[in-house]
C-alpha cells in the first residue's frame, strides 16, 4: 500500500482568496512550553467546503458523517472533466467501484462545467475535488458551480496537489476538522494506492 499526500503546505506565504484572512501564527508562550495561536480562514490550502458556505444549511462542516470524506475515489484529468463523453466512459470502466468521490487534475485555472456537475450528481457523487483554488473558473464571480453543488449537498475539495498522481481509482481520506459551526475546514488529504 502506498500513501500519497495530496495536500498543500500552509504557512504565511500560502495564498488565500482575496479578502480572506491569511495564515498567521503567534507564539503565546515559548518557554518552557511552546504554545501558539492561529488566525486563518478555513478556506486555506487544501480545504473542504460544505453547504453552509452558501447558506444552504446551518450544519457546520464538522457535523457531517465521515463517509462523505473517506472512501473510493476516481482521479481524472482536465480533458475528462471537460468532455462529457470521456467522463461517462471513465465511469463505465470503473462502475464496479461505486464511485461517489471524484478528483480532477487541472492544467489550467478553468472551472468544472455545470454539465459535468450535473452528470456527477446523477451518478450519486457527493464529493468533488480540484487542484485549482476553486471549482469555479478563476474569472467567475457568480460562483455558479459552488452554488449548484452545495445546494445538492455535494462537498467541494479544493487546492489539491495531484502532481505525479495517475488517473484511476484510489481510497481517499479528506476529513474536515470537527468544527461544528464553520462552513469549511482545512484538511490533510491523502490517497491510498493498493499495489
Q: What is the grid cell recorded at 154?
A: 455535494
pLDDT of residue 40: 97
Question: N- to C-terminal Cα distance for the chain?
Answer: 6
* Strand 101-105 relative to strand 70-77, pairing: parallel
pLDDT of residue 155: 98
pLDDT of residue 140: 87
Query: Domains of the chain by range and CATH?
Result: 2-9+42-193 (3.50.30.50)
User: Which of 184, 146, 149 shows the shortest CA–CA distance to 64?
Assistant: 184
pLDDT of residue 139: 87
User: Which of 87, 106, 121, 119 shows the shortest CA–CA distance to 159?
Assistant: 106
pLDDT of residue 194: 85
Residue 97 DSSP label:
G
Q: Model confidence over 146-155: pLDDT tens digits?
A: 999 999 999 9
CA–CA distance, 157 with 130 (Å, rounded to integer): 6
Q: Which of 43, 53, 126, 146 is catalytic?
A: 53
User: Rounded to two decimals, what is the model's pTM?
Assistant: 0.96
For the question of residue 53 being annotated catalytic, the response is yes
CB distance 186 to 177 below 8 Å: yes
CA–CA distance, 10 with 117 (Å, rounded to integer): 29
Query: What mean pLDDT, rounded, does the chain reach?
Result: 96
pLDDT tens string, the chain, 195 residues long: the values are 999 999 999 999 999 988 999 999 999 999 999 999 999 999 999 999 999 999 999 999 999 999 999 999 999 999 999 999 999 999 999 999 999 999 999 999 999 999 999 999 999 999 999 999 999 998 888 999 999 999 999 999 999 999 999 999 999 999 999 999 999 999 999 999 987
- DSSP, residue by residue, 135-175: SS-TT-SS-HHHHHHHHTT-EEEES---TTPPSEEEEEE-P
CA–CA distance, 109 with 117 (Å, rounded to integer): 17
pLDDT of residue 176: 98
pLDDT of residue 116: 98
Amino acid at each position: 500500500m502506498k500513501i500519497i499526500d495530496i495536500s498543500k503546505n500552509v504557512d504565511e506565504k500560502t495564498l488565500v482568496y482575496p479578502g480572506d484572512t491569511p495564515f498567521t501564527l503567534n507564539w503565546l508562550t515559548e518557554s518552557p512550553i511552546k504554545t501558539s495561536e492561529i488566525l486563518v480562514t478555513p478556506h486555506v490550502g487544501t480545504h473542504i467546503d460544505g453547504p453552509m458556505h452558501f447558506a444552504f444549511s446551518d450544519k457546520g462542516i464538522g457535523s457531517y458523517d465521515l463517509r462523505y470524506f473517506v472512501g473510493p475515489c476516481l482521479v481524472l484529468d482536465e480533458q475528462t472533466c471537460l468532455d462529457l463523453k470521456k467522463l461517462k466512459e471513465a465511469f463505465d470502466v470503473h462502475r464496479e467501484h461505486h464511485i461517489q468521490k471524484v478528483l480532477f487534475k487541472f492544467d489550467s485555472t478553468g472551472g468544472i462545467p455545470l454539465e459535468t456537475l450535473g452528470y456527477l450528481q446523477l451518478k450519486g457523487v457527493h464529493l468533488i475535488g480540484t487542484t485549482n483554488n476553486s471549482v469555479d473558473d478563476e474569472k467567475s464571480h457568480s460562483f455558479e458551480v459552488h452554488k449548484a453543488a452545495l445546494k445538492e449537498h455535494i462537498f467541494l475539495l479544493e487546492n489539491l496537489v495531484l502532481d505525479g498522481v495517475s488517473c484511476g481509482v484510489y481510497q481517499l481520506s479528506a476529513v474536515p476538522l470537527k468544527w461544528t459551526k464553520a462552513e469549511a475546514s482545512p484538511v490533510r488529504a491523502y490517497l491510498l494506492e493498493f499495489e
